[in-house]
Amino acid sequence: REVRLMRYTNLPAETRDGKLIFLKANIEIPEEVDSVLSHGADGVGLYRSEFLFLQSGSIPDEETQYRVYSQVLEALPGKTVTIRTLDIGGDKLFPGRFDHQDKNPILGWRAIRLCLSETDLFRTQLRALLRASAHGKLRIMFPMVSGIEELNQVLALYDSVVEELHREAVPMAAYIPVGIMIEIPSAAVVSDVLAKRVDFFSIGTNDLIQYTLAVDRGNERVAYLYEPFHPAVLRLLTTIIRNAHANGIPVAMCGEMAGDPLATLILLGLGLDEFSMGAAAIPEVKQILRNVTLLEAEELVGTIMDMKSHDEIQSYVAQLMEKRF
Ligand code: PEP
Ligand code: MG
């Protein structure tokens, strides 16, 4: 099966009626760039930078981070690499300095919240990223933004680091798109406001579903309630994509849902511009995209948006995919 799908590696993810979709890869360590290339990814849609910290068990200094980020950018010439700033805390506990005991870690001191209070750590990472930007096509993405005050704070800090490097005459890329993950329901709801301040969105469905449905993404006992096709989730996706496009910015998705072949048609029909997933999932999603039309995907979305339950939507899509593929 894999071998048959690999025929698609060098072909674009273009629907039969000409809609071109970007298929990108999620990576956690630099060694994965080989797999990014061999699976025909259009770039990296999510590089989880926290693994550099978690793996080494200590906080890498600016030089170390600069070298690693540059190495990834240089290994993928001409391809966009989206690096997400530190997302520790929550389920990714860091030994030592940040092994705090929040009562509710998933709702606690994590990701951008942690970075905005530990600004030395955050500034060091931003300096390393900006310096690395001279080595390829970098996009920077901030995790777990919940609203406009937080975003303004992040962007002000980012701008001050950019200015600092300008003053030091450090070479940087002329243009570095800056975006945010939409993975907290409040951010999805006010995405019209947030879209005016950033260059792109990337939807993190792993967390967005968890927070929307109040279901711990790692808890087996409630896993049956973790429903990507829940109408509440689909309505939020609709809102996010509509608000982004109304403000002229593209929308990616880098949560697991982006690599689920059952979700491909729905996401296409909702207008998603970019899908990012584990590289191994790319060939199958590409095969689906190349064999459908945007029109039929939009019709499918029209149909399922009138349905009232996850089960109804899920079985309708499963039947359709069974018939078509
Ligand atoms: C997500 O939440 O969907 C996501 C991509 O980020 P992570 O899985 O690293 O939380
Ligand atoms: Mg997340």
Whole-number Cα distances in Å, 43 to 149, 282, 293, 321: 31, 12, 24, 27
Q: What is the tens place of the pLDDT at every residue in 78-102?
A: 999 999 999 998 777 776 777 767 8
Q: Which ligand has the shortest distance to the CA of 92?
A: 1
pLDDT at 96 (0 to 100): 72
Identify the residue with better confidence: 150 or 6. 150
Q: Where are the alpha helices (DSSP H) in the chain?
A: 2-5, 33-38, 50-56, 62-75, 111-117, 119-132, 148-167, 185-189, 191-195, 205-213, 231-246, 264-270, 282-290, 294-304, 310-324
Pocket flag, ligand 1, residue 205 (CB < 6 Å): yes
Pocket flag, ligand 1, residue 264 (CB < 6 Å): no
Q: What is the tens place of the pLDDT at every residue in 270-279?
A: 999 999 999 9
Identify the residue with better confidence: 121 or 96. 121
CA 93–ligand 2 middle distance (angstroms): 14
**Residue 21 in contact with residue 14, Cβ under 8 Å?**
yes
pLDDT at 216 (0 to 100): 94
Pocket flag, ligand 1, residue 84 (CB < 6 Å): no
- CA 94 to CA 100: how far, in whole Å? 9
Pocket flag, ligand 1, residue 185 (CB < 6 Å): no
- If one counts every other C-beta atom within 10 angstroms of the C-beta of residue 248, the result is 9
- CA 229 to CA 196: how far, in whole Å? 28
Report the nearest atom of ligand 1 relative to the CA of 206.
3
Taking the model in full, what pTM does it have?
0.97
pLDDT at 8 (0 to 100): 81
Q: What are phi and psi of 61, to 5 degrees?
A: -75, 175
CA 172–ligand 1 middle distance (angstroms): 28
Cα first-last separation, the chain: 13
Q: Of 98-102, 125-129, 184-188, 316-320, which gets the smallest average pLDDT?
A: 98-102
- CA 109 to CA 106: how far, in whole Å? 8
Q: Is 254 one of the catalytic residues? A: yes
Average pLDDT estimate for 183-209: 98
pLDDT at 10 (0 to 100): 86
Give the residue numbers of the binding site: 48, 84, 183, 206-207, 217
The β-bridge partners of 21 are 13
User: Annotated catalytic residue: which of 59, 132, 252, 254?
Assistant: 254
CA 205–ligand 1 middle distance (angstroms): 7
**Residue type for 56, please?**
S
Cβ partners under 8 Å of residue 133, min gap 6: 73, 172, 173, 176
Average pLDDT estimate for 11-27: 97
Tokens 């942690």 belong to 114
**Residue type for 147, please?**
G
Q: Which of 250, 264, 248 is nearest to 301 (CA)?
A: 264
Report the nearest atom of ligand 1 relative to the CA of 91.
10
- CA 140 to CA 44: how far, in whole Å? 11
Element (H, E) at 146: none
pLDDT at 1 (0 to 100): 58
Tokens 């870690």 belong to 105
pLDDT at 240 (0 to 100): 99
pLDDT at 6 (0 to 100): 75
Give the residue numbers of the binding site for Mg(2+): 183, 207
**Residue 269 in contact with residue 301, Cβ under 8 Å?**
yes
Statement: residue 3 has pLDDT above 70? no
Pocket flag, ligand 1, residue 144 (CB < 6 Å): no
pLDDT at 56 (0 to 100): 84
**Residue 142 in contact with residue 183, Cβ under 8 Å?**
no
Pocket flag, ligand 1, residue 254 (CB < 6 Å): yes
Q: What is the tens place of the pLDDT at every residue in 25-82?
A: 999 999 999 999 999 999 999 999 999 998 888 899 999 999 999 999 999 999 999 9
Average pLDDT estimate for 135-157: 98
Statement: residue 208 has pLDDT above 80? yes
CA 202–ligand 1 middle distance (angstroms): 10
Q: Ligand 1 atom 6: the closest Cα is on which residue?
A: 204
Q: Ligand 1 atom 4: the closest Cα is on which residue?
A: 204
Structure tokens at 138: 């970098």
pLDDT at 2 (0 to 100): 62
Structure tokens at 207: 């967390």
**Residue 138 in contact with residue 83, Cβ under 8 Å?**
yes
Arithmetic mean of pLDDT over the chain:
95
Tokens 């995907």 belong to 297
Q: What are phi and psi of 138, to 5 degrees?
A: -90, 140
pLDDT at 169 (0 to 100): 98
Q: Ligand 1 atom 1: the closest Cα is on which residue?
A: 204
Pocket flag, ligand 1, residue 227 (CB < 6 Å): no
CA 45–ligand 1 middle distance (angstroms): 12
